[in-house]
Amino acid sequence: MTDAKAEIEALVKELNYHSYKYYVLDAPEITDAQYDLMYGRLKELQTKYGYVPNDSPTERVGGKPLDKFEKAHHKVPMLSLDDTFSFEEALEFDRRVKKLLDTPSDICYSVEVKYDGLAVELSYERGTLVRGSTRGDGFTGEDVTQNIKTIKAIPLKIPISSVPEEIEIRGEIFMKRDDFIKVNQLRTAQGDQPFANPRNAAAGAIRQLDPNITAQRKVQIACYGFGFVSTIPFNTQDGLVSWLRDNKFPTPHIFEVVPNIEKALGVVKNIGKIRESLPFDIDGAVIKVNDFQLREILGARTKEPRWAIAFKYQAHRGVTKIREITVSVGRTGTLTPIAILSPVSIGGVTVSRSTLHNWDEIRRKDIRPGDTVIVERAGDVIPHVVEVLYRDSIERGAEFPAPSACPVCGSDVVKESASDETTEASAYRCIGLNCSAQAIGRLKHYVSRAAMNIEGLGKKTIEMFYEKGLIKSITDIYKLEAFKIYGLPGFAEKSVDNLFISIENSKNATLARFLYALGLRHAGEFVSKVLAVRYKSIDKLYHIKHEELVETEGLGDIIAKSIAEFFNDEKNIQAIKEILNKGVQLSNPDYKSNVSSEDVQPGLFGAKLPLDGLKVVITGTLPVERKRLEALISENGGKVASAVSKETSYVIAGDKPGSKFDKAKILNIKIITYEEFLKLMDK
């Protein structure tokens, strides 16, 4: 055990070093594969010998989803800073400081960037991280320890031996713009509403009840202050920053110490010049008295210290009037309210439209047509309404309600509650099959190889035909006329003939393939197969009840609800009938009059899926939501089992697996990691 313990501690030290190089210094020394090998070896030794150091990287993601956040009381209040918007106000701050200190001498200041994020406190006892909490009202925040631990830039253990018995480190959680764009791209692809800005995305990540979701978001932290400390090992702000850096904490991207207020304002000016080129959003710069003894003398007001100010840069803002509110329909069917504005110049750009994000936002800010509003444009972010400046009782319009029908196609609109975000609002979505706002995406899916397999209608061709008005809906595919296609780019006589042959061949399809081609939300190939096995023909799905579908094994409540909504929309039913009237004939060789779970063989369309006939059990904390993992297993032909038995094919084990892991070892069931599961999907 002694040798194993030594190897475990050596691996922990080595892995933490490389995490620091990668996540804090952005200067990796080894490849991801090399890191993964060491990490795998560490997990193996920890499992075998039962020894897990507190600062082991395996401890970063753990714990079950919470029902709610517990309250966290700050020993020393987390005060806010007094805002300053001009150099004259900053000079006045310097005069106040000198007056309170009764000195004519220059004051030494520190200057750092002010991140636009979420303030947090990291509490350490004997060098070990014991709690992470949000600022809250300054006196009481929320305990977000599990989520804080997923941020790999935060040390789980302070490395130096002379660490104070207790110390509370304060910093700002933020998200880089590139990572923000990627998060929103993923959310949009999954049909979720994008975040309004990086700050909301970072705050939403930290306030997740499930730490596994937080772990998937690339949030950052910059540490710049402290709360309670039993023994202060520094007496200046630059001493604190040096101490933080020595102990592997990330610190502000820009930090300088200057001899007087004039030099401090020079740094503020320089930060202002480069702020748009920084990889993250800032909303100002912070000027602090550098000496902690002087801070003690200066003290604090009720809500803010007298020894620091936040210099706020002027945002790209303008004042204008909302002419009307309309609705935009995204490519996944998400409805977004849009304010049509009287044109206003903001940062050199004329703005006439602004997103209102969602209906919860409209109600919260009480926004209506006719209101005079402040509109902000930051970087490449879509302009948004900050607040209502004036409400004219005469010109003011009525409240803008969420539509019950899609403004583009008239189909039903369904309300979807936020899936995993504690800070985001509910979304409204159009479920119309022939909605032109979603048309190109639906058309590309319908003709794809796994769906109706219409060769000659690739992505670029679909876009060209749509732009020229040849195809606006799925039905239009079967209305194409050859003479309108001849001569278009890529379409000579032979290619036109081949296209029409492929369209004609697609008219003979199985029900399972056709259902998949329709692109029902949350319904992949396996779900389409399940429906085909249970229902003899597509008309049996018209006006289907959610209660009936949810009883079908392999569907689940979310999928059943989505299918029921789709097949209870009259416009969708009419669109399907129009497609069938164009000669599309559906056979259903999969139908079973007496359905059992064993009747659903997921080798859809003759193609064997990776998990055909396999039973899979999940245990422990994994880097993805359990529901998403279960859906992935089902879509690839497997069946998710709740208990381990001799019939179990695989056990996917995450961090801190339970009794299922032990039983699998006893029964000699194959145990795999999430990463190994993903490799299995590629086979």
What whole-number distance in Å separates Cα of residue 362 and Cα of residue 110?
40
pLDDT band at residue 602 under the 50/70/90 scheme = very low
What is the percentage of the chain residues whose pLDDT exceeds 90? 35
From CA 202, how far away is CA 218, in angstroms rounded? 9
- Residue found by looking up tokens 């900050």 in the block: 386
At how many degrees (to 10) do helices 87-101 and 261-274 cross? 150
Q: Which two tokens stand for residue 369?
A: 């047509």
Domain boundary among 551, 579, 599: 599
The CA–CA distances, whole Å, from 257 to 190, 237, 583 equal 46, 9, 77
Residue 359 has pLDDT above 60, yes or no: yes
**64 domain residue, yes or no:** no
Q: Please list the residues that pair with 112 across neighbouring strands.
A: 255, 286
Same domain flag for 544 and 647: no
CB 556 within 8 Å of CB 497 = no
Residue range 180-205: mean pLDDT, rounded: 80
Q: Judge if 142 and 208 occupy the same domain.
A: yes
In a domain, 420, yes or no: no
- Examine the pLDDT at 601 and tell me if it is beyond 50: no
258 vs 163, higher pLDDT: 258
Looking at residue 606, its pLDDT comes to: 41
Residue 133 and residue 87: Cα distance in Å, rounded?
A: 34
* β partners of residue 141: 72
Query: What whole-number distance in Å separates Cα of residue 249 and Cα of residue 121?
Result: 13
Q: Which residue has the higher pLDDT, 286 or 31?
A: 286
Asked if residue 555 belongs to a domain, the reply is: yes
Q: What 8-state DSSP symbol labels residue 382?
A: P
Q: CA-CA distance, 210 to 65, in Å (whole number)?
A: 4
Counting other chains too, the contacts that 24-33 makes at CB distance below 8 Å and 24 or more residues apart are: 24/153, 24/248, 24/249, 24/250
User: Rounded to an integer, what distance in angstroms lies between the CA atom of residue 525 and that of residue 186?
Assistant: 21
Structure tokens at 642: 């709740």
pLDDT at residue 490 in the model: 85
Residue 367 confidence class, pLDDT cut points 50, 70, 90: very high
Q: Is residue 470 part of a domain?
A: yes
**At 369, is the secondary structure helix, strand, or coil?**
coil
* CB-count exposure of residue 526 (10 Å: 0-12, 13-18, 19+): buried
Cα Rg, the chain, nearest whole Å = 30
CA nearest neighbour of 626 among 215, 212, 146? 212
- For the chain, give the longest Cα–Cα distance: 94
Q: Distance (Å, rounded) from C-alpha 572 to C-alpha 580?
A: 12
pLDDT of residue 95: 96
Q: Domain check: are 249 and 152 in the same one?
A: yes
Q: Residue 587 burial by CB count (10 A; 0-12/13-18/19+): exposed, middle or buried?
A: middle
486/624 same-domain check: no
Classify strands 615-619 and 650-653 as parallel, antiparallel or unpaired: parallel
152: domain CATH number? Answer: 3.30.470.30
Q: Tell me the pLDDT tens digit for each residue of 274-287.
A: 887 899 988 899 99
Look up the CATH number of the domain holding residue 497.
Answer: 1.10.150.20
488 and 370 share one domain: no
Alpha-carbon 126 to chain mean position = 34
CATH classification of the domain holding 35: 1.10.287.610
Distance linking the first and last C-alpha atoms of the chain: 39
Distance CA 234, CA 231 (A): 9
Q: Which residues contact 47 (CB under 8 A, 6 or more apart)?
A: none
| 212 contact partners, CB below 8 Å, separation of at least 6 | 61, 65, 621, 622, 623, 624, 625
Q: Which residue has the higher pLDDT, 459 or 220?
A: 220
Per-residue CA distances from 241 to 9, 25, 235 (Å):
28, 15, 11
Tokens of 24: 């804090």
Quickly state the pLDDT bin for 594 (edges 50, 70, 90). Answer: low
Highest mean pLDDT among 141-145, 392-396, 437-441, 519-523: 141-145
| pLDDT of 627 strictly over 70 | no
Phi, psi of 634 (to 5 degrees): -65, -45
Residue 372 within any structural domain of the chain: yes
- Rounded CA separation 464/255 (Å): 52
In a domain, 339, yes or no: yes
Per-residue pLDDT, 304: 86
* Residue 96 to residues 39, 42, 262, 312, Cα–Cα distance (Å): 54, 56, 15, 19
pLDDT > 60? residue 375: yes
CA–CA gap between residue 159 and residue 567 (Å, rounded): 60
Instruction: Say what the pLDDT of residue 15 is.
Output: 82
Host domain of residue 573: 510-599
One domain, residues 330 and 383: yes
Are 263 and 339 found together in one domain?
no
Sheet strand arrangement including 650-653: 639-641, 615-619, 650-653, 670-672
CATH number of the domain to which 348 belongs: 2.40.50.140
Q: Is the pLDDT of residue 380 over 70?
A: no
The DSSP bridge pattern shows strands 82-84 and 308-312 to be parallel
Among 266, 288, 312, identify where a domain stops.
Answer: 312
In DSSP notation, 128-182 reads: EEEEEEE-TTSSEEEB-HHHHHT-TTS-SB---TT--SEEEEEEEEEE-HHHHHH
Q: Are 68 and 209 in contact (CB under 8 A)?
A: yes
3-state secondary structure 367-403: CCCCCEEEEECCCCCCCEEEEEEECCCCCCCCCCCCC
> How many domains in the chain?
6
Give, in order, the Cα–Cα distances in Å from 410 to each of 29, 399, 503, 573, 664: 57, 21, 28, 14, 53
Give the tokens for residue 221.
């932290």
The pair of three-digit structure tokens given for residue 87, joined into one six-digit string? 């150099």
Least confident of 43-52, 253-262, 538-547, 644-653: 43-52
pLDDT at 24: 65
Retrieve residue 323's tokens. Answer: 């002419």
Taking the C-alpha atoms of residue 293 and residue 275, their distance in angstroms, rounded to an integer, is 32
Mean pLDDT of 116-136: 93
**pLDDT for position 444:** 87
Same domain, 266 and 330: no
Kindly state whether residues 514 and 501 are assigned to the same domain: no
Q: Are residues 152 and 217 part of one domain?
A: yes
Token representation of residue 481:
């006329």
Residue ending a domain, among 268, 289, 312, is 312
Is-contact 159 13, C-beta < 8 A?
Answer: no
Residue 360's SS3 state is helix
Q: What pLDDT shows up at residue 424?
A: 45
Which of 350, 268, 343, 344 has the alpha carbon at shortest distance from 313?
A: 268
Measured CA to CA, the distance from residue 69 to residue 603 in angstroms comes to 44
CATH number at 640 reads 3.40.50.10190
Residue 114 a catalytic site member:
yes
Does 66 reside within a domain?
no
Task: Give me the pLDDT at residue 17, please.
Answer: 80
Q: 168-204: b or e for each residue (b if 16 or more CB lie within 10 Å)?
A: bbbbbbbbbbebbeebbeebeeebbbbbbbbbbbbbb
Report the amino acid identity of residue 143.
D
Q: What is the pLDDT of residues 98-113, one digit of tens each?
A: 999 999 999 999 999 9
Which secondary structure element, helix H or strand E, spans residue 119, and what is its range? strand 118-125
285: tokens are 């710069």
- Do residues 184 and 302 both lie within one domain? yes
Q: Is residue 73 part of a domain?
A: no
pTM for this predicted structure: 0.54
457: tokens are: 């209608």
Considering 21, 48, 114, 615, which one is annotated as catalytic?
A: 114
Q: Do 263 and 181 fall into the same domain?
A: yes
**Identity of the residue numbered 174:** F
3-state secondary structure 429-446: EECCCCCHHHHHHHHHHH
Instruction: Give residue 216's pLDDT band: very low, low, confident or very high (50, 70, 90).
Output: confident
